[in-house]
Structure 1
């Protein structure tokens, strides 16, 4: 079966530049949908590795940022996505699906489930058992233990069933940046990465390829 989306890999890119690209595709897709010309804007999976940046969701609490980002070599953006504060940076795969959910015949809840499922399948290939938890989106390890920790954060925006923003998957991420925030506004759960769990860095490009393959598997 042919894939229902195209992949646009931006490589290393600032948050501001990637946001311009996201919004161009997002609002273009909505406009095309309103005019009945959806073929002009195919579903698109944008992949990017950001420079260090903290982003805050539209209803997030600025108090969850503990430092001036400049002092740790990062920037800051208030965004239109759901969720609270998170960090993006080198070694992390950020995926921004600009998807018309009606083409997949799914709603927003199933969409978020699919995002989680793609990451769950990838980390399982490395022997890591990820899980979901009821009270928060994302992918977690040891969900029923005091040592519960998040390996992938999710924060999305949708309008007229078109999505933007997406997921942040910690592969070889420098986790020290998370020490300067209360990640996702949750202060009793830790953050982790594939590298931390496996005790070594993993091939970033291979993980990215696997993620695209799992997107193709769950979004059919």
Structure 2
């Protein structure tokens, strides 16, 4: 049986605003586990952010390589947040996804959940002829992961889970300005690069189309039915 999941498109949204909205939906779903009659929805959120760097709870400040003044100069902000992983960048042209779901309902472990997110992205970019792979010892989706000196990340993943309810998620570089990654050690790595679908294909992609494909692959991988709900904003 397919699981019903609300599809929410925040569009271009400030990071703090999106984080606040996430926490409301996360807490509602968490509360529903204790009080089944309370409101709460499994959600699949897609959005896009203005220039921002986020540092996970196990991250290292030194992986942000620039000063506060330079952050202002490049129009970026910086947040320390409660997901796993180290530092990453979000910005225009990047699809950011925040699945807020009850993993017990989907009968998957947290480790399997990460693998399913990776599968979803690998299937998404495969629609455009890009071969995505996993890299041993690192989450996310990579290109040429087994070729020394060639491995480059196209999608970062960092999540939080409490009582098997998830938040935060993934960031797929579609038409992303990769220059912003030069100001950090992405995900804590100093010896691996980043890439985008635009760079790999040599052309700018239809951003809304890639979002649609991503949503379709979520449905397929998670055996879910996405629906639009006026109750979830």
TM-score of the two chains, using structure 2 as the length reference? 0.92
- Runs of 4+ in structure 1 off by over 4 angstroms are none
Q: Flag the structure with more relative contact order, 1 or 2, with Cα contacts below 8 A and sequence separation at least 6.
A: 2
Structure 2, unmatched stretches of 5+, are: 224-233
Counterpart Cα distance in 2 of 1:108 and 1:87: 23
The equivalences for 1:71-220 within 5 A come to 71-145=73-147, 146-220=149-223
SS of residue paired to 2:26: helix
Counterpart Cα distance in 1 of 2:181 and 2:73: 14
Whether the 8 Å CA contact 1:4–1:219 is kept in 2: the answer is no
1:85 to partner: Cα distance:
0.3
The residue that corresponds to 2:21 in the other structure is 21
1:101 to partner: Cα distance:
0.4
The residue that corresponds to 2:230 in the other structure is none
1:171 to partner: Cα distance:
0.2
Counterpart Cα distance in 2 of 1:4 and 1:157: 21
1:124 to partner: Cα distance:
0.7
Number of aligned residue pairs: 219
The equivalences for 1:42-81 within 5 A come to 42-68=41-67, 69-81=71-83
- RMSD over equivalenced CA pairs, Å: 1.0
SS of residue paired to 1:4: strand
TM-score of the two chains, using structure 1 as the length reference? 0.97
Counterpart Cα distance in 2 of 1:37 and 1:114: 29
Structure 1, unmatched stretches of 5+, are: none
Whether the 8 Å CA contact 1:102–1:161 is kept in 2: the answer is yes
Deviations along 1:186-219, one digit per CA (max 9) or x if unpaired, are 1111000000000111100000000000000011
Counterpart Cα distance in 1 of 2:62 and 2:81: 15
